[in-house]
Amino acid sequence: MTAAALSALLGHWRRHPVQLAMLLAGLALATALWSGVQALNAEARAAYDRAGALLGEAELSRLEAPAGLIDPADYIALRRAGWRVSPIVEGRADLGATRVTLLGIDPLTAPAGPAATDLPEADPAAFLVPPGLGFAAPETIREVGEAPFPLIAAPEVPVGQVLVDIAIAQAHLGLGGQISRLTILPGQPRFVPPLAELVPHLQRVDPGEETDLAALTDSFHLNLTAFGLLSFAVGLFIVHAAVGLAFEQRRPVFRTLRALGLPLRRLMALLAAEMLLFGLLAGSAGLVLGYLVAGALLPDVAATLRGLYGAPVPGALAFRPEWAAAGLAMAMAGVLVAGGQSLAQLARLPILAPAQPRAWARASGRAMRLQGAGAVALALVALTLTFRGEGLVAGFVLLAALLLSAALAVPLVLAALLSLGERLARGPVAHWFWADSRQNLPRLSLALMALMLALAANIGVGTMVSSFRATFIGWLDQRLAAELYVTARTEAEGEELRAFLEPRSDAILPVWYAEATVAGRPARIYGTKDHATFRDHWPLIAEGPNPWDRLAAGEGVMINEQLARSADLWPGDAVVLPGAGRFDVAGVYSDYGNPNAQVMLGIDAFLAAFPRAPRLSHAVRMDPDEVPAMMAQLQDRLGLPATMMSDQAQAKAVSLQIFERTFVVTRALNILTLSVAALALFASLVTLSGMRMAQLAPLWALGLTRARLAALDLGRGMVLAALTAVLALPVGLALAQVLLAVINVQAFGWRLPLQLFPGDWLTLGFWALLAALAACALPALKLARSAPADLIRVFVQER
């Protein structure tokens, strides 16, 4: 009996191969986008872990200075007291053609991690003695090109990092003898004086606490995850629609099977098994696809993470079985969620329930009321969170509530609009057109909801990026006001440089900084010279009285927006700079693209507090026409390589490039989501067209040509898509506002003004209609070409 029932059930798919293809494609795509994003995240997390494991730090406690750097005296004191600790220096530095993280270790005390055991053989003397020797991943070596010391390929070293001797790193980072952190080695002697006595100002960090990098990049990964989830949801809409329609179409089969004595339970088990089989098939295909998607996106993601956070993420993807298993499980869960409703409906349905189109519509009329209630409830959640919510997670919940609420409202609003059209319609055909669109709305509403979500996400993210871009470009103009930027390689060269530039420029503005911890956050403190460049151009978003005078006088400091928002420090508040003292906040400035806190301190106060800060980088104000000549002179007279200087245009170009790269991934995911939505619409229309013969045949018999009916069907698809696109606009703008005013603030620490780009909307609307046209064209064409025999069949009884 089971075999016979199974063949009757599966026969449906043999006669509707397109529907089956859609179901599988939808599920495969959903799985692909979701698992693709997960692969990206897993790769990045693995890279962070590898970075921690390299020096064995993942398992060991460490000592850090809240003020930023550890004095060598502390290190010596600890060693003398018997503590077994190993110093590490870490910092970002330009090396050859790129920027890397220099990791300086003391090979004699370094703990036994891969760095101590797995690195290729090298001459220990060459490692210790200047110019030194570096270990780096082959990828990093390729990017660096020419380095001041030889580089040896070591795949164990995370991409973007270079492992050198501690002294070499200190020299390159201009740290003097200062140390970034001390690793507490295993097997300490029994009786050592407690740390709290020896070095009370140092802080012990135990392993297992999240690494800085992981914490820093969390928001980025959360962003990706949110997008992956959105794509998955959109994909599930397709599956849900396809499964629902297949159930609807097979109702006569169910009825016959049950009338012939197949128990309901057996029937449901068979259907569930069928869906799980589809989940397995499509999930596997989705995994392959997701792997390809992730592989294609990873270079950009890696570049973003490295550029923005200095996170060592490689550009190549590794295969992880646990990732595949999770992806497959998601596909299975997805298909069960999508099919569960239909199964539940089947369980409740009386055996002889007729397959009536309007019964369906009525049942979904109840569903619509439920949906309406859901939409209102979610809108209330969103509203509450807008005023009460705090934190990134609340931000994302707000986002989800907003989007879901809007999606649920789509069918309701469309139904209202279609009834309006019906009431305003004149001729009989126009009247039928609106009534028929409204009646078929429930079958299309899932696809339309998916389309709305994709469009809104596009508008929202697009507006966010464009607003950001416009603000960023304006901000760059202010921030990069100097005509020339030069960096010396050594302190001596720096001095030479300043002496050379002094008589030949309008002003030399030092770009000197010290790493520190301010208000509990990793920060950079910059020494700032009092100059019109700052007074005229600096992008202040909040200021107290006479901010620049107070800065110059050493009374106040300027802090960046990230620090101001995260620590809630505003003009009038005071902030403690470790080693420098307590200062009033004189002003807050915007500082986009920088994940860390930043403080501007008057140059005199800065030099007094951080006498050992490297004095290498400078911004030079001068006649812009003379910049090329000056760059040539610096090369000839001081032997400064061209890579150590850039004019304003170059500096801006580099910043913009980093900016653009940051959003490559977002854009790609956006486009993928939109394509999935178009596919959802296509799937629904194709499936629907199979059921529409009975609705259209009477009209044909009454004298409407097939071509006209097809044109009307096409028009209906376009009208629905256009209305959906119009609905997506306000939702997208609300989304953009949430992204700009809530998510960005929480994730990056800056708030951006919303700007409107109607041109982009028109372009997107055009693409949406084109996608809808593509989705509607095939079913319409099929209808226009359908043989009269197919239509007549409707009128012949018992068929």
Ligand X SMILES: Nc1ncnc2c1ncn2[C@@H]1O[C@H](COP(=O)(O)OP(=O)(O)OP(=O)(O)O)[C@@H](O)[C@H]1O
Shortest Å, Cβ 428 to other proteins:
4
Angstrom distance (rounded) from CA 246 to CA 356: 14
Please identify which residue in 2, 7, 356, 650 interacts with other proteins, judged by CB under 8 A.
356
Choose among ligand X, other proteins, none what residue 532 binds, the Cβ cut-off being 5 to 8 Å by kind: none
Please identify which residue in 172, 438, 443, 716 interacts with other proteins, judged by CB under 8 A.
438
Q: Which CB, 108 or 796, lies closer to other proteins?
A: 796
Angstrom distance (rounded) from CA 40 to CA 290: 10
**Two structure tokens written together for 722:** 């256009």
Q: Judged by CB under 6 A, does residue 787 bind ligand X?
A: no
Alpha carbon distances (Å) from 653 to 497, 648, 675: 25, 9, 32
**Two structure tokens written together for 468:** 């950001």
Choose among ligand X, other proteins, none what residue 347 binds, the Cβ cut-off being 5 to 8 Å by kind: none
Give, rounded to a whole angstrom, the gap between the first and last alpha carbons of the chain.
25
- The site string for ligand X over 557-576 (x = CB under 6 A, - otherwise) reads --------------------
Q: Judged by CB under 8 A, does residue 781 bind other proteins?
A: no
Shortest Å, Cβ 436 to other proteins:
4
Residue type, 115: A
Shortest Å, Cβ 568 to other proteins:
59
Shortest Å, Cβ 701 to other proteins:
6
The full DSSP string for 465-487 is HHHHHHHHHHHHHHHT-SSEEEE
Q: Which CB, 99 or 708, lies closer to other proteins?
A: 708
Please identify which residue in 76, 192, 359, 770 interacts with other proteins, judged by CB under 8 A.
359
Q: Judged by CB under 6 A, does residue 796 bind ligand X?
A: yes
* Longest Cα–Cα distance in the chain: 102
Shortest Å, Cβ 774 to other proteins:
26
- Please say whether the beta carbons of 85 and 109 come within 8 A: yes
Q: Which CB, 492 or 787, lies closer to ligand X?
A: 787
Shortest Å, Cβ 354 to ligand X:
21
Q: Judged by CB under 8 A, does residue 705 bind other proteins?
A: yes
Q: Which CB, 189 or 350, lies closer to other proteins?
A: 350
Choose among other proteins, ligand X, none what residue 639 binds, the Cβ cut-off being 5 to 8 Å by kind: none
Q: Judged by CB under 8 A, does residue 766 bind other proteins?
A: no
Q: How many CB atoms are located within 10 Å of the residue 553 CB?
A: 14
Please identify which residue in 145, 263, 624, 698 interacts with other proteins, judged by CB under 8 A.
698
Angstrom distance (rounded) from CA 622 to CA 378: 57
For 573, which DSSP code?
A: B
Residue-wise burial string across 691-713, b where 16 or more C-beta atoms lie within 10 A, e elsewhere:
bbeebbbebbeeebebeebbebb
Choose among ligand X, other proteins, none what residue 438 binds, the Cβ cut-off being 5 to 8 Å by kind: other proteins
Q: Which CB, 532 or 707, lies closer to other proteins?
A: 707
Shortest Å, Cβ 792 to ligand X:
8
Pair type for strands 62-64 and 161-165: unpaired
Stretch of residues binding other proteins (CB under 8 A), selected from 20-28, 286-294, 357-365, 520-528: 357-365
Alpha carbon distances (Å) from 81 to 73, 87, 750: 12, 16, 46
Q: Judged by CB under 6 A, does residue 108 bind ligand X?
A: no
Angstrom distance (rounded) from CA 438 to CA 414: 8
Q: How many CB atoms are located within 10 Å of the residue 680 CB?
A: 34
Q: Which CB, 471 or 786, lies closer to ligand X?
A: 786
Residue-wise burial string across 326-341, b where 16 or more C-beta atoms lie within 10 A, e elsewhere:
bbbebbbebbeebbee
Q: How many CB atoms are located within 10 Å of the residue 188 CB?
A: 12
Stretch of residues binding other proteins (CB under 8 A), selected from 299-307, 593-601, 670-678, 694-702: 694-702
Q: Judged by CB under 8 A, does residue 435 bind other proteins?
A: yes
Choose among ligand X, other proteins, none what residue 794 binds, the Cβ cut-off being 5 to 8 Å by kind: other proteins
Angle between helices 17-54 and 2-15 (to 10 degrees): 90
Residues near other proteins (CB under 8 A) are: 354, 356-359, 427-429, 431-432, 435-436, 438-440, 694-695, 697-708, 788-789, 791-792, 794-797
Residues near ligand X (CB under 6 A) are: 796-797
